[in-house]
Amino acid sequence: MTEIFTGSFTQQEPIPEEGIAAALEVMRSGRLHRYNLAPGEVGEAALLEREFAAYTGARYALAVASGGYAMATALRAIGVGPGEKVLTNAFTLAPVPGAIASVNAVPVFVGVTEGLTIDLDDLAAKADQSSVLMLSHMRGHLADMDRLLQICKAAGITVIEDCAHTMGAAWRGRPSGRDGLIGCYSMQTYKHVNSGEGGFLITDDAEVMARAIMLSGSYMLYGRNGTPPPEEVFERVKYVTPNVSGRMDNLRAAILRPQLARLDTQCAAWNARYRTVEEGLRGTPGLRIVERPEEETYVGSSIQFLLLDWGDDAIADVIARCLARGVELKWFGGAEPTGFTSRYDSWRYAPSERMPATDRILKGIVDMRLPLTFSLDDCAQIARIIRAEVGAVWQARAG
């Protein structure tokens, strides 16, 4: 009998009861705005900032409206202006080049490897084109951060990390987001903590954080933030930094704090599901597993595999056959963007020369969410379905 998977790839876990209770308390108080506090009160947003700074080991943390806003704020905080070039991954999601374009800067795309990380040889070749790298840890894959930092240091490149898919991950034990000058994170529904929308920005640089807090719309209430730099730092920047409002509110912060407290447990649960699917797919003819380096502590909230050098029709057939059996796969190689699967040649506001080696890899990337609402048995069944359908199309190609 043909197996059919009946679970939902978009159904997330419920908000923890502690978060629901905290949110109700905030709503009953009416003080949703992060700076609307009673005398002596520390708001939920400020407490969240303190807890996230402690979790990552950063000196300063700022909670904002979205991960995309965090990235744009990071660029503004280091002074990136109109017309400046910013290096970034060719394999990423639209908010990354979108953040660069939002400050009227120009994305310069760097290639992708078969490990789905930024191509460090291509980065080295393009290092003289920009003084800033917006590094996207796309789908949770960490590049060799030691070599990347060597390249950037030698070229005088400031690194901003997009950690939307790597909250809880690390390279050689260093938390993702701590290698660059600034780390940016997302709390959108499909990320590792869920407030619908939301973002973090972390740094050890006092002036960068002071500018970021002013940019986020603190007015002159920056002392109410959870981890503000000293007053004298704000004195240097407060009259020359625009207000580009994008604050986190106390309601979202309230539902995030319990999730942050259990993040490590959640990461372990994602990885158990990831390994189940990975092992079920390993050895499938025509399918290439993306091997993870030993130095990487990853969070497997999604999984990718490669159908390298397959024709478009064959990959589309795999996608359709799996969908008919309840398994939703996304493909980054389609001629037209679908949902979130756009790529560098889709972003016509940021034209780029073709990158044939990167195009080959992008064309073969198949992507799948692994929500924690799936059991390990669900994941094993999903792997069986993918394996069977890839195998059927592979056999047809071979025949």
CA dist 49 and 65 (Å) reads: 13
396 by Cβ neighbours in 10 Å (0-12 / 13-18 / 19+) ranks as exposed
3-state secondary structure of 347: coil
Please list the pLDDT of the chain residue by residue as tens digits (399 residues): 689 999 999 999 999 999 999 999 999 999 999 999 988 899 999 999 999 999 999 999 999 999 999 999 999 999 999 999 999 999 999 999 999 999 999 999 999 999 999 999 999 999 999 999 999 999 999 999 999 999 999 999 999 999 999 999 999 999 999 999 999 999 999 999 999 999 999 999 999 999 999 999 999 999 999 999 999 999 999 999 999 999 999 999 999 999 999 999 999 999 999 999 999 999 999 999 999 999 999 999 999 999 999 999 999 999 999 999 999 999 998 878 887 888 898 899 998 889 999 999 999 999 999 999 999 999 999 999 999 999 999 998 876
The helix/strand count (H/E) of the chain reads as 13, 14
Domains of the chain: 17-261 (3.40.640.10), 263-398 (3.90.1150.10)
**Residue 19: which of 251, 346, 345 has the closest Cα?**
251
The model's pTM is 0.97
Q: What is the pLDDT of residues 168-207, one digit of tens each?
A: 999 999 999 999 999 999 999 999 999 999 999 999 999 9
Strands of the sheet containing 288-289, edge to edge, are 288-289, 302-306, 365-369, 330-331
> Which residue is associated with the tokens 């059919």?
4
Cα 77 to its chain centre, rounded Å, is: 20
Both structure tokens of 136: 């996207």
CA dist 140 and 298 (Å) reads: 7
Q: Give the chain's largest Cα–Cα span.
A: 76
- 391 forms beta bridges with none
Neighbours of 97 (CB within 10 A): 29
DSSP label at residue 344: G
Q: What is the gyration radius of the CA atoms in the chain, in angstroms?
A: 22
Q: What is the pLDDT of residue 334?
A: 81
CA dist 319 and 396 (Å) reads: 15
Both structure tokens of 280: 């079920």
Q: What is the pLDDT of residues 338-383, one digit of tens each?
A: 878 888 988 999 988 899 999 999 999 999 999 999 999 999 999 9
β-bridge pairing 158-162 and 182-186:
parallel
Burial 348-366 (b: 16+ CB within 10 A, else e): eebeeeebeebbebbbbbb
Q: 376-383 long-range contacts, Cβ below 8 Å, gap at least 24?
A: 376/272, 376/273, 376/276, 378/5, 378/7, 379/273, 379/276, 379/277, 379/280, 380/276, 380/277, 380/280, 381/3, 381/5, 382/5, 382/277, 382/280, 382/327, 383/276, 383/277, 383/279, 383/280, 383/281
Start-to-end C-alpha separation, the chain? 25
